[in-house]
A and B are shown apart, each in its own frame.
Chain A
Amino acid sequence: ISDTSLQSKGFNLHRSITNLNLHHLNSIFVSVGFPQRDISKIQIALENTDSLIWIEHHKTKGSPVAFARATGDGVFNAIIWDVVVDPNFQGIGLGKAVMERLVTDLLNKGITNIALYSEPRVLGFYRPLGFVMDPDGIRGMVYSRKKKKK
């Protein structure tokens, strides 16, 4: 889905958090099942994010309908987080649009190791974008504090 095609449908694409309404972003996160997060923390997270892409509809400026961001060290590795599409706008290729652009931006920065954590039910979304599960047997692991409960 090209930039012109997006624009013709009334969608604008952004790569910075200027004019991004964080409250609306947070409500989209919640609407797709993410835990409710502190706005001030979201602000900090976005300020310390290497790359991000969001799409708005021109009629609701500032309110994102699709979003994705990537953190990393800026040279070798990046992890993509918080990929969301407003449920009212799903199914028309906006998720794919943000992901394709985010990945391209990262590759253009020379970052070749791009990873993400995915729920099993959306593997089919990431695979056509070029993501491979557990390449070479490498597994993602997450620190669990539950193990340390006394």
Chain B
Amino acid sequence: MLSLHLLSSTSSSSSLPTIVSLNCCCCEPSNHLPFPNTNLGFLKVKRQPKVSNLKAGFWESIRSGFGKNNTIQVIETPSSEEEEEEPLPEEFVLVEKTQPDGTIEQIIFSSGGDVDVYDLQALCDKVGWPRRPLSKLAAALKNSYIVATLHSRKFSSGEEGNAEKKLIGMARATSDHAFNATIWDVLVDPSHQGQGLGKVLIEKLIRTLLQRDIGNISLFADSKGTKMRPRS
């Protein structure tokens, strides 16, 4: 079954300055740098069982290369050669930034699908999508094979228990669990756009689908790529 609209891969976004995917092609993945141990020290994130398995050293050069005042700790790499072999954890910290005032913001990716429909509706409002009934949104999420989310957690150093958690991105895929999957409703909060988060959402979603052996992944996009999905 051929697709009439078979085009190139989905990473067709225009060149945006990104934190997460910067230099991913230039860096040599190295397993010898002590990255996981030294830098995870102050993370204190409790339920990230697989963080220490992630590729080492990848982002050392990014940290040093960044001229901003923020200290940016990038924990996960979006693409690497061994990526497809390692199982993707259900939830992990994607990016961690320390603001000059000491507050820490973490961007957390999750494929667990735990989304509050009210949060989702608020996010849809923010990106300007037409309102859809909450019950239908809930049903759509429930009937989706994978719901990937990005949450932002903000807290002052040492006060992780008081973190303020906000939904800032989502992408979902429906599937027959065997052959085909279709990606719908990709959205990123405008306040967090331009950082490559949408790209990461899709990449992680695809990776999860591929690891579950779903070979045919499709989506519908408009020509500008600004709206990535038809908003029914």
Contacts from A to B (Cβ < 8 Å): 34, 37, 41-42, 44-50, 71-77, 79, 81-82, 112-113, 115, 117-120, 123, 133-134, 136-145, 147, 150
In the complex the two chains form, is B176's CB within 8 Å of A71's CB?
yes
Interface residues on B, range: 35 or more
Nearest 5 A/B pairs, CB to CB: A45-B178, A143-B217, A113-B232, A140-B5, A45-B176
List 11 contacting pairs A-B, 8 Å CB cutoff, sorted by A: A37-B179, A47-B177, A48-B177, A77-B230, A79-B218, A118-B4, A120-B4, A133-B4, A139-B223, A141-B7, A143-B218
Q: Is the interface of A mostly helix, strand, loop or mixed?
A: mixed
CB-CB under 8 A from B176, the residues of chain A are 44-46, 48-49, 71, 81
In the complex the two chains form, is A48's CB within 8 Å of B175's CB?
yes
In the complex the two chains form, is A147's CB within 8 Å of B8's CB?
yes
Which residue of A is nearest B232, CB measured? Answer: A113
State which of A77, A120, A139 has its C-beta within 8 Å of the C-beta of B232.
A77
B148 to chain A, nearest CB (A): 14
In the complex the two chains form, is A139's CB within 8 Å of B1's CB?
no
CB-CB under 8 A from A115, the residues of chain B are 220
B81 to chain A, nearest CB (A): 7
In the complex the two chains form, is B1's CB within 8 Å of A119's CB?
yes
Supposing A45-B176, A139-B223, A141-B7 touch, asked if A75 and B1 sit within 8 A by C-beta, the answer is no
In the complex the two chains form, is B232's CB within 8 Å of A147's CB?
no
- B2, B179, B221, B230: which has the most chain A beta carbons within 10 Å? B179
Which residue of A is nearest B202, CB measured? Answer: A143
**Apart from A48-B145, A71-B175, A73-B139, what 12 extra A-B contacts exist at CB < 8 Å?**
A48-B178, A73-B174, A77-B174, A77-B182, A77-B232, A115-B220, A118-B4, A123-B4, A136-B222, A139-B7, A142-B218, A143-B206
B222 to chain A, nearest CB (A): 5
In the complex the two chains form, is A77's CB within 8 Å of B8's CB?
no
In the complex the two chains form, is B10's CB within 8 Å of A143's CB?
yes
A10 to chain B, nearest CB (A): 29
Q: Give Cα A144–Cα B172 distance, bound, in whole angstroms.
A: 19
Which residue of A is nearest B179, CB measured? Answer: A45
In the complex the two chains form, is A140's CB within 8 Å of B3's CB?
yes
In the complex the two chains form, is A142's CB within 8 Å of B6's CB?
yes
